[in-house]
């Protein structure tokens, strides 16, 4: 049973610095977090919990609430419209339309339980969440996204043992490449005990199964990180981005510079590689995101090292990125990060 309750409330969240995996400056969530069963995924807070009886809170009129809101929207905007409730109410599409009318580039997250937006502004992107991971249904969605000629990609929530299965991931990346996905990326989640129990019941696992033992009694962080790295390797080998790029990623903005540093730092920390340097990169990312003057204008007048809050490594990374569109240091970290689980770890 699903109970829909309408309310004028609209959840809007701002971020001072970009954070993986969605890198938003502003987030719009027109529905309450628990809107799926037996496992509900909260993509904004990156948590998974069980949901037996669903009471879904739905914003009455998204455009009116956004126009009245005192919270300023900055791009990139993230719109969480994953789940069946989007099929019924289309509030995510309404938010995407608003962003388009305001000239804001947005990323809308949808899922096979819901619906693709019928209209996507030119600078916006659609991420298709691979949950539930039903390959045939996802192929239908990939085909529809290609027919609409929109920029889209695949976001894979990491839930052991479903989305960590190597065979399913191999099939999924082949389909994503075939239908023209621009990215194929992992979304790590914190899975609470209720969600684990719901997963075990839905999969028919009992205490005699190895997967059941792993799910409840093992430290799943190593397999989660290994799966993230495996997905990144699959994406790179298929010519897709291995992370969810924010809209207008090609622009040399302060926000995108901060994304580059944060992505690199987060991968270094996950690999436990030069963790002290990774911390410096993360601090520099916060500094860059807070700069009042565009970073491109700074380097037109003087070397980037004049920004005293930046460490030397971040200066080198950003100078290369601004001048050559890439950094050899970042390229090296990305190569180390992309490691297939079936190749050994």
> Which CA distances in Å does 106 have to 18, 193, 226, 266, 325?
14, 33, 29, 23, 22
Where are any strands of DSSP class E within 11-148?
Answer: 11-14, 26-29, 39-42, 47-50, 54-59, 77-80, 106-110, 125-129
User: How many angstroms from the chain centroid is the CA of residue 31?
Assistant: 18
Q: Report pLDDT for 1.
A: 54
Give the separation between CA 156 and CA 172, rounded to whole angstroms.
10
Distance CA 29, CA 109 (A): 10
pLDDT for 6: 86
For 120-183, give the DSSP string. --TT-EEEEE--S--HHHHHHHHHHHHHHT--EEEEEEE-TTTTT-HHHHHHHHHHHHHTT-SB
At residue 2, the pLDDT reads 66
From the list 81, 88, 69, the residue with the least C-alpha distance to 6 is 88
| 309-319 residue pLDDT tens | 999 999 999 99
CATH topology of domain 254-343: DNA polymerase; domain 1 (1.10.150)
**pLDDT for the residue numbered 345:** 44
The predicted-structure confidence for 190-200, as pLDDT tens digits, reads as follows 999 999 999 99
In this prediction, residue 53 carries a pLDDT of 67
Give the contacts of 274 (CB within 8 A, at least 6 positions apart). Answer: 268
Residue 294: the pLDDT is: 95
- In Å, what is the CA distance from 207 to each residue of 49, 76, 182, 197, 211? 20, 45, 40, 11, 9
Structure-token match 């509900």, residue found: 40
Copy the structure tokens of residue 130: 């691979």
Low-confidence ranges of the chain (pLDDT < 50): 345
């Amino acid at each position: 049973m699903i109970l829909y309750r309408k309310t004028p409330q609209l959840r809007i969240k701002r971020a001072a610095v970009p954070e993986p995996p969605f890198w938003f400056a502003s987030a719009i969530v027109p529905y309450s977090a628990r809107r799926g069963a037996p496992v509900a995924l909260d993509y904004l807070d990156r948590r998974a919990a069980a949901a037996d009886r669903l009471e879904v809170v739905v914003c009455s009129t998204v455009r009116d609430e956004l126009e009245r809101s005192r919270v300023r929207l900055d791009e990139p905007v993230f719109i969480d419209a994953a789940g069946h409730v989007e099929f019924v109410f289309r509030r995510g599409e309404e938010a995407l339309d608003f962003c388009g009318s305001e000239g804001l580039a947005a990323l809308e997250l949808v899922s096979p339980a819901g619906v693709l937006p019928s209209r996507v502004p030119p600078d916006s992107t659609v991420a298709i969440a691979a949950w539930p991971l039903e390959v045939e249904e996802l192929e239908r969605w990939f085909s529809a996204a290609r027919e609409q000629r929109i920029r889209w990609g695949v976001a894979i929530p990491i839930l052991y043992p479903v989305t960590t299965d190597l065979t399913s991931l191999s099939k999924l990346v082949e389909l994503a490449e075939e239908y023209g996905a621009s990215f194929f990326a992992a979304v790590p989640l914190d899975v609470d005990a209720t969600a684990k129990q719901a997963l075990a019941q839905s999969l028919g696992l009992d205490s005699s199964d190895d997967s059941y033992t792993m799910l409840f009694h093992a430290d799943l962080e190593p397999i989660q990180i290994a799966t993230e790295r495996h997905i990144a390797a699959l994406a790179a080998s298929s010519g897709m981005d291995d992370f969810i790029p924010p809209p207008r990623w090609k622009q040399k903005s302060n926000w995108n510079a901060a994304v580059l540093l944060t992505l690199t730092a987060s991968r270094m920390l996950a690999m436990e590689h030069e963790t002290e340097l990774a911390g410096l990169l993360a601090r520099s990312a916060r500094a860059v995101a807070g700069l009042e003057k565009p970073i491109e204008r700074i380097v037109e007048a003087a070397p980037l090292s004049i920004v005293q809050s930046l460490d030397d490594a971040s200066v080198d990374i950003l100078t290369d990125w601004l001048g050559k569109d890439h950094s050899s240091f970042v390229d090296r970290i990305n190569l180390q990060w992309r490691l297939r689980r079936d190749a050994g770890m």
